[in-house]
Chain A
């Protein structure tokens, strides 16, 4: 991964492993953050007042949307590797739309829970649900900033090497956040 020194495209050889390693280190930090939240969840859950909240059916749909987003990102990455500029444009656009759809879906879930009386502050299970989904959503929003820069770059017509790198990093980040969501969702379902 990092430290590779293949001699193909000038410039991108240097930048690629460095940025990618930077992202991996960042993911390690984010992993620590979510792992600690999950530990806190596990400890707090054992105390007497824990009332699990129902998982609205919409969460399954949102999960499906996020899986689809990740798949589209992967497809976009493959398109970038094959050098298909149109494919990259379409793929990035679709992934952006799907991500926004996921975030909107999560907001609707919040509203549904709120409407049926599961307020923040009423029970620790609710609190953790809101905090964990918010934290995950904020990380996706941060990803959308990188997505925006990548999309703008592709529209401007940056060199293929650079586009390939950015799209690859986006794909990695989205896969990672999908993984985090699957873990969180499993945790919510099982408790």
Chain B
């Protein structure tokens, strides 16, 4: 196999793009509010996403309070409970994780890491944030309309989502669907920018195979999102029409509350196909950026090149492609043709191959590395553990015969929280601890960071490990109260109480993180430009935090890949991407 062109003697090819005119804001409003600078937009995305994420965190507390201590809290009635469950899921998956990985990290890191001054369409990029904000406000508005927010579950399955008896069937569901449609329009504006910027605005010498894996992950996730979100858009439009104009795209003939409704002939399974054609790629929209970020954190903090860079890139591409042909593994119990189940179980298990390649490569990157167990590294290692755990239970659920009895139990809740909630969130935290010094010029406090890590990591396992057992016992998900059954023993209640206490503690531990963010902004240790001694371009900017235009007078030129750590014979244990090769072939001979 030919190796990556990180050989120092490789010359830097000419730029694909020359210098462009930067837009310079003239007013305070243009600089800080309606800014077209990707870095400001990134911060706006991050603050909005994390704020609404905290709301969803509180919802999760309320869900757990009800499950752990039923009949204790009079303000949680069955309707509220369903609303909390629904909004917790919807906000976390779409309004927090998608917006944070692509809108915030994408905007901050893509231009800096590829050596560009900004995104290629800054005005559209700005619009993207404001449209996203409108989507969030519509979502929040749905909490306050008559009937409250929708309680249909984050999957919003018809027919129940728009029928009487489901909370929020009057206004909540309409606002929810409109908010999703608006979110998708805003995302598309941003997504166009991320893709075209990576393809067009890379600096001189930054070939695609020299991109840091973080950029690869965000790039591929954006392509997935651009192609998958239309499925959610289509289903949202069709459901709005079913709800408001009485069409029957998804609604079968139905008797509700003793009355025969006008609907006839529609197909709820059609909605499920559309929803999961979006929903499964969505898992990877959240996972791929996390993969990329974790790869970079491991390499930097183990002072070792990433193992098998080229394989890592192709694994990202393969996972992205495969994620479009596995969607119906969410629908084994929907009554679809059983042969479909066979096909989708096969494709689902095939995804394990590129995913396992990534895990092996992460472990091999750590192998005999000079591992610095600082906070970003702890979170990165925590990610690997959690992702493997969630991935293994995915193998159970990917098989039809095992999935059928486990469907709609707490086992499923435990599985997807491990794989696409805790794992990506650990990557997010690792990334924030890693890049905060570049964004603010100050280090986050190390001790507080370690407290935050251990409470979050151990606490998450205290929540989700027992939950797998609840699933095996047959405890159903989404139930306000279990009631009396023959198969669920009394002891389940004590376990539920324990899980709730763990959840409260983990949630409270996040306050340590927020305190750290605020305190370090004012009192943190000054970080300098490159505190981690990393190789990628964002650490080589003349100013920290980077100023408008990122790289001062001249754009950097890239001579090598992003992973030249501990190169034998080099004076330091890292060589930044923009350091030219030493004269003649001495460097190349040493490396051979």
Chain A interfacial positions (CB closer than 8 Å to B): 2-3, 5, 13-15, 17-18, 21-22, 25-26, 28-29, 32-33, 36-37, 40, 43-44, 47-50, 120-121, 124, 127, 131
Q: Which residues of chain B are within 8 angstroms of A21 by Cβ–Cβ distance?
A: 196, 199-200
Q: How far is the CB of A3 from chain B (nearest CB, A)?
A: 6
Query: 8 extra interchain contacts, Cβ-Cβ under 8 A, other than A17-B200, A18-B201?
Result: A2-B200, A18-B196, A28-B226, A33-B230, A43-B273, A48-B265, A120-B241, A127-B241
Q: Which residues of chain B are within 8 angstroms of A43 by Cβ–Cβ distance?
A: 267, 270, 273
Contact of B270 with A32 in the complex, beta carbons under 8 Å: no
Given contacts A14-B18, A25-B226, A29-B227, contact A40 B274 (CB under 8 A): yes
Interface size on B, residues (CB 8 A): 39
Chain B 224-243 near chain A by CB (<8 Å), digits 1 or 0: 00111011011001100100
Q: Which residues of chain A are within 8 angstroms of B264 by Cβ–Cβ distance?
A: 49
Q: How far is the CB of A36 from chain B (nearest CB, A)?
A: 5
Closest to B248 in A: A124
Contact of A22 with B196 in the complex, beta carbons under 8 Å: yes
Q: Which residues of chain B are within 8 angstroms of A47 by Cβ–Cβ distance?
A: 265-267
Q: Which residues of chain B are within 8 angstroms of A127 by Cβ–Cβ distance?
A: 241, 247-249
- Please report the C-alpha to C-alpha distance between residue A131 and residue B242 in the assembled complex, in whole angstroms: 12
Interface check B16, CB cutoff 8 A: yes
Contact of A14 with B20 in the complex, beta carbons under 8 Å: yes
Interface check B195, CB cutoff 8 A: yes
Contact of B267 with A44 in the complex, beta carbons under 8 Å: yes
Closest to A30 in B: B230
Contact of B227 with A5 in the complex, beta carbons under 8 Å: no
Q: Which residues of chain B are within 8 angstroms of A26 by Cβ–Cβ distance?
A: 188, 192
Contact of B265 with A22 in the complex, beta carbons under 8 Å: no
Contact of A22 with B192 in the complex, beta carbons under 8 Å: yes
Q: Which residues of chain A are within 8 angstroms of B191 by Cβ–Cβ distance?
A: 29
Contact of B234 with A22 in the complex, beta carbons under 8 Å: no
Q: How far is the CB of A127 from chain B (nearest CB, A)?
A: 4
Chain B 466-499 near chain A by CB (<8 Å), digits 1 or 0: 0000000000000000000000000000000000
Given contacts A22-B192, A25-B192, A29-B188, contact A36 B246 (CB under 8 A): no
Q: Which residues of chain A are within 8 angstroms of B201 by Cβ–Cβ distance?
A: 18
Contact of A121 with B247 in the complex, beta carbons under 8 Å: yes
Contact of A28 with B227 in the complex, beta carbons under 8 Å: yes
Q: Which of B3-32 contact A (CB under 8 A)?
A: 14, 16-18, 20
A3, A26, A36, A47, most chain B CB atoms within 10 A: A36
Contact of A44 with B270 in the complex, beta carbons under 8 Å: yes
- Please report the C-alpha to C-alpha distance between residue A1 and residue B62 in the assembled complex, in whole angstroms: 54
Closest to B21 in A: A11
Contact of A33 with B234 in the complex, beta carbons under 8 Å: yes
Contact of B247 with A49 in the complex, beta carbons under 8 Å: no
Contact of A5 with B265 in the complex, beta carbons under 8 Å: no
Contact of B277 with A36 in the complex, beta carbons under 8 Å: yes
Closest 5 CB pairs of A and B: A49-B265, A33-B230, A121-B246, A127-B247, A32-B230
Q: Which residues of chain B are within 8 angstroms of A49 by Cβ–Cβ distance?
A: 248, 264-265
Contact of B266 with A25 in the complex, beta carbons under 8 Å: no
Contact of A25 with B247 in the complex, beta carbons under 8 Å: no
Interface check B121, CB cutoff 8 A: yes
Q: Which residues of chain B are within 8 angstroms of A36 by Cβ–Cβ distance?
A: 230-231, 234, 274, 277
Interface check B245, CB cutoff 8 A: yes
Given contacts A3-B200, A40-B274, contact A18 B267 (CB under 8 A): no
Contact of A18 with B246 in the complex, beta carbons under 8 Å: no
- Please report the C-alpha to C-alpha distance between residue A44 and residue B269 in the assembled complex, in whole angstroms: 10
